[in-house]
Structure 1
Amino acid sequence: MTAFILVAGAHTGGWVWREVAAGLRDAGARAYEVTLSGMDGGGGAAGRGVDLETHIEELVRLIDRVEGQDVVLVGHCYGIHPVRGAADRRSERISRIVNVDVGIPEDGDPALKLVPDRTDRERVLSLAQEDGAGTLPAPAVEEWQRWGSVAGLPAEALARLTEQAAPQPLPTLTQPLRLSGAVAGLPTTGVLCTANGSSIAVVEAMVGLGDPAFQALADTGVTFFELDTGHWPMLSAPRELVDVLLLAAAGKGHRVAAVRERPTHLRPFLMDVEERPRERTGRVDLHLPDTDGPRPAVVFVHGGPVPAGARPTPRDWPAFVGYAQYVASLGAVGVTVDHRLHELTAYGRAADDIAEAIELVRADPRVDGDRVALWFVSAGGLLAADWLAAPPSWLRCVAASYPILAPLPGWGLADSRFRPAAAVRGAGELPIVLTRVGLERPEIAVTVEEFVSAAADCGAALEVIDVPLGHHGFETIDPTDESREAVRRAVGSVLGHLGAGTD
């Protein structure tokens, strides 16, 4: 008989698992919905002195009391930290760990690293400095969205979440997780909630980048499921979560294949382009036309996050090289940049890298600094916000291909400046060229439609080029006539706004 130990996330206790636990018992399993110390809603004083180690030891004692060997540990949000800590100490008793809409923390990681919003992280650190043994107040009803998407949550469930939430002991968030390494070999299942911005496609893309840190996700003992709901599936989709947990315990689920062939982002560009001279300065590459005199420039901004260890880096990926060379073949300077969007918390750093690269490009004597276009790709689309909100005079066009144009839930950027769907209201008459793919992931397509609607409302100069049968990254995935025509149209439109070829 399988025993499921269900560990809740920040500010919540075993009560959030009630429906899931009942469903598991109905299916013949045992279920233990855990309320860790300080999480029973008894007030801030109940949590004083409680830390991550306290919660780990509580789970270890529970594991020791559970009869039988088939124990599945299920951790949601913060709960994955004590789950992995306990599993590391009782690895011989654990048959599988299930991560519910949360990543895999490693040795030395504090749970604070999981908090998506930078303002919230800074708040926790400030409170910890004032009183390291204190608690973080529970969110108000309108604040839960900052911790993860509330999509699918009925109003009464959100109200219950707020009413029963407990202050979170600060040391549970700030104390580093310590692991011996025993947990690393345990079978693992990730339950990805697509409305919160995670999906199997995202995992496969990260594995495909080739960074060694993500290769473990392709191990045979690692499986994945998707649920079309927000960050609290135990409240928004309990029946579906029960089904997934039972399948996970049986070793079922989607397995991500190890990269044995060329990943999609390293496949050839869909067009044959005559090679042009290429120069590298720091993080910036210039692809140069054969013409003399200052020429307009198109700066291509890649997406991400791209792990720091990924090789090759984006400016050497075939799509970016192909675009830059194509632009150069038509008389403009193509620019590719390796910015440092290595994690979701690094958008500010990436924005600084792009601004620095643009200054370098505009100062080059071969570039007409008053005729520059910026072209944003995928998650790099969020970096377009600054330029749309207050376009400088030299910016003649903004382009975007299959972009993310509003922060996805769970990214911790909801209140940040990186919201192109809001920033477009400041674009004025700036031409915007958007390449939209028909086979886009739903969570991204929503942001594109939000942007298109906002652009229409404010009368922005938006041109949309559709690729109905195109996927995200179509330039190396869909080498069709339709795709090639879309690239030609987009490049031709951008260069037209730059006046390329007219002087």
Structure 2
Amino acid sequence: MTTYVLVHGAWGGGWKYARVADALRKRGHTVFTPTLTGQGERSHLLSGDINLTTHVTDILNVIRYEDLSGVVLAGHSYGGMVITAVADAIPEKIAALVYVDAFIPEDGQSLFDLNIPANTQMFMDRAGAVPGALAGLVIPPPPAAYFGVNAKDAPRVDALAAPQPLGCMIEKIRLTGAYRNVPKRIYLHGTVLPRESPFKPFYERAKAEGWEAHALACGHDIMLDKPEEMTEILDKAA
């Protein structure tokens, strides 16, 4: 059986993976769905000091303290930044990297470097409009419709989404290249989005580089829109 660590994206939480995690556990796998600092049930820890390094440390500590190895490490959206840095730090612990409609950074890049410029500007503007002590330090969540979330799940996504620390988006990742030693890489792309997708180029690059790549007819939150299909792909990832 396989050990999975599923990392959510911005404005999210481990709760987003509930259906996929339950399905994998029923198949006998071990599954961790950690929530990053300041998000989900840890939103009471929200701070302007949180950055990408904070979230990388979150996941490194899960793997360390749970004594995990042979991990299939999946990251959704912003989570692609996190899993790349984790795999770069401990490639010997990672059996496969799964990018779930996620950013794939190179050394020295931030998420804002990779995103569509109009999106980056919108997020900066939203951060600047936040009142109080966190003004300019966190980005309020866009509505679920922005990500093409299905109608059934959209109200819950809107209710549970937490502000994302700006530092996570602007910190430039530092990579040695050791993450390239992970033996298997997979990309999942949600093809139905009510706007230009910043993730399609990563999907196309993954295909061109010979990765296992899947295009799914759904919105950006694949784990909500296509949990059965995602479970099947993850089940065969190790």
State the TM-score, normalizing by the size of structure 2: 0.85
**How far, CA to CA, are the matches of 1:42 and 1:103 in structure 2?**
23
Residue of structure 1 equivalent to 2:157: 161
**Aligned partner of 1:124: which letter?**
F
Provide Cα deviations, 1:468-498, integer angstroms capped at 9, x if missing partner.
Answer: xxxxxxxxxxxxxxxxxxxxxxxxxxxxxxx
**How far, CA to CA, are the matches of 1:20 and 1:116 in structure 2?**
29
With over 3 angstroms needed to count, the CA separation of the structure-2 counterparts of 1:34 and 1:68, relative to structure 1, is: closer
Residue of structure 1 equivalent to 2:176: 180
Deviation of 1:41 after TM superposition, in Å, equals: 5.8
**How far, CA to CA, are the matches of 2:68 and 2:43 in structure 1?**
36
Name structure 2 gaps, 5 residues minimum.
none
Residue of structure 2 equivalent to 1:282: none
- Residue 195 of structure 1 pairs with residue 184 of structure 2: no
**How far, CA to CA, are the matches of 1:65 and 1:43 in structure 2?**
22
With over 3 angstroms needed to count, the CA separation of the structure-2 counterparts of 1:129 and 1:182, relative to structure 1, is: farther
With over 3 angstroms needed to count, the CA separation of the structure-2 counterparts of 1:140 and 1:193, relative to structure 1, is: closer
Provide Cα deviations, 1:346-403, integer angstroms capped at 9, x if missing partner.
Answer: xxxxxxxxxxxxxxxxxxxxxxxxxxxxxxxxxxxxxxxxxxxxxxxxxxxxxxxxxx
Name structure 1 gaps, 5 residues minimum.
208-216, 250-503
Deviation of 1:228 after TM superposition, in Å, equals: 2.0
Matched residue SS, 1:20: helix
* Counterpart among 132, 136, 140 of residue 137 in structure 1: 140
Deviation of 1:6 after TM superposition, in Å, equals: 0.5
Residue identity (%): 30
**How far, CA to CA, are the matches of 1:138 and 1:44 in structure 2?**
16
Q: Counterparts of 1:290-301 in structure 2 under 5 Å? A: none
Q: Counterparts of 1:295-314 in structure 2 under 5 Å? A: none
**How far, CA to CA, are the matches of 2:206 and 2:109 in structure 1?**
24
Deviation of 1:103 after TM superposition, in Å, equals: 3.8
With over 3 angstroms needed to count, the CA separation of the structure-2 counterparts of 1:114 and 1:54, relative to structure 1, is: same
Deviation of 1:176 after TM superposition, in Å, equals: 0.7
Residue of structure 2 equivalent to 1:10: 10
With over 3 angstroms needed to count, the CA separation of the structure-2 counterparts of 1:68 and 1:7, relative to structure 1, is: closer
**Aligned partner of 2:111: which letter?**
A
With over 3 angstroms needed to count, the CA separation of the structure-2 counterparts of 1:73 and 1:205, relative to structure 1, is: closer
Residue of structure 2 equivalent to 1:170: 166
**Aligned partner of 2:34: which letter?**
V
Deviation of 1:68 after TM superposition, in Å, equals: 4.7
**Cα RMSD after superposing both structures:** 2.8
Matched residue SS, 1:74: strand
**Aligned partner of 2:165: which letter?**
P
Residue of structure 1 equivalent to 2:233: 244
With over 3 angstroms needed to count, the CA separation of the structure-2 counterparts of 1:112 and 1:225, relative to structure 1, is: same
Deviation of 1:204 after TM superposition, in Å, equals: 7.4
Deviation of 1:223 after TM superposition, in Å, equals: 1.4
- Residue 75 of structure 1 pairs with residue 71 of structure 2: no
Matched residue SS, 1:34: coil
Q: Decide whether the 8 Å contact of 2:35 with 2:41 is kept in 1.
A: no
With over 3 angstroms needed to count, the CA separation of the structure-2 counterparts of 1:66 and 1:45, relative to structure 1, is: closer
Q: Decide whether the 8 Å contact of 1:50 with 1:133 is kept in 2.
A: no
**How far, CA to CA, are the matches of 1:190 and 1:2 in structure 2?**
19
Deviation of 1:194 after TM superposition, in Å, equals: 2.5
Q: Decide whether the 8 Å contact of 2:124 with 2:139 is kept in 1.
A: no
**How far, CA to CA, are the matches of 1:102 and 1:161 in structure 2?**
18
With over 3 angstroms needed to count, the CA separation of the structure-2 counterparts of 1:66 and 1:43, relative to structure 1, is: closer
Matched residue SS, 1:180: coil
Residue of structure 2 equivalent to 1:36: 36
Residue of structure 2 equivalent to 1:235: 224
**How far, CA to CA, are the matches of 2:91 and 2:76 in structure 1?**
19
With over 3 angstroms needed to count, the CA separation of the structure-2 counterparts of 1:238 and 1:117, relative to structure 1, is: farther
Matched residue SS, 2:104: coil
Deviation of 1:117 after TM superposition, in Å, equals: 6.0
Q: Decide whether the 8 Å contact of 2:37 with 2:43 is kept in 1.
A: no
Deviation of 1:232 after TM superposition, in Å, equals: 0.8
Deviation of 1:192 after TM superposition, in Å, equals: 2.0
